[in-house]
Amino acid sequence: MKQSKAHKDFKERTQEIFNFAVLVTLSVPVLKQNIKLFNDKKILWNWSNELDFIHGIDHFRIGEYFKDCLEAYASKFGVENKQDFELEKISESIINIAKKKYIQHIVYEDGIIHDRLTYLYPKGVELVRSSTPTFARDKIVTIIKYLFSEPETFNIRELLKLVKNLRKEFDLCVPDKIDDISMQSVTVLSYFKAIFY
């Protein structure tokens, strides 16, 4: 089956964009260490931290590149480009569990800068359910924040110590706090009220 020229152009353009995305992903650490590349071209930007660096790369390189690519692609078909790529989110780190199941530690979203460890975004993952015991609710978030607090120097032994301490705390829970460690379900409580009253 013969492919149309438009289909071939689309495949080539898609491959070019994919190759560029891979190149950018692989080269960010190299570019971060070689900021001289930008200084030689007299680009004045605050390169002092990672967030500013990513905004600079987007502003001076990636944003314009995607705009030019989309304009060139639209002009091949004689139409006006209506698409515009913009930087939406910057995540410091991500825990990938499965396809479309992850937890992001977001530091920038839609023009808003978030303090470190204040915005965790679970996608396809329920961290806390309505039936999760009160005791476990805070502990789950504590463990997730621990994982995000030192992503580059994560130590599994320290995580295991944290979990063991939580287990000891759970085992030593006094009987009057039994509601804190037991599953809580509003529907069951409502059911018993309806039966006995």
The strand pair at 112-113 and 120-123 is best described as unpaired
Between CA 140 and CA 136 the distance in angstroms is 6
| Domain map (residue ranges) of the chain | 5-76, 89-190
- The string of pLDDT tens digits covering residues 15-37 is 666 565 555 554 454 444 445 54
Distance CA 6, CA 1 (A): 15
Per the rule left: phi > 0, alpha: psi between -120 and 50, beta: everything else, 118 is alpha
pLDDT by residue (tens digit) across 52-89?
888 888 887 788 888 888 888 889 888 888 888 888 88
- Single-letter residue type at 17: I
Cβ neighbours of 144 (radius 10 Å): 18
Model pLDDT, residue 30: 47
* pLDDT averaged over every residue in the chain: 75
Angle made by CA atoms 184, 187, 193, in degrees to the nearest 5: 105
Choose among 144, 197, 140, 139: nearest CA to 173. 139
DSSP character at residue 82: -
Determine what percent of the chain is predicted with pLDDT higher than 90. 3
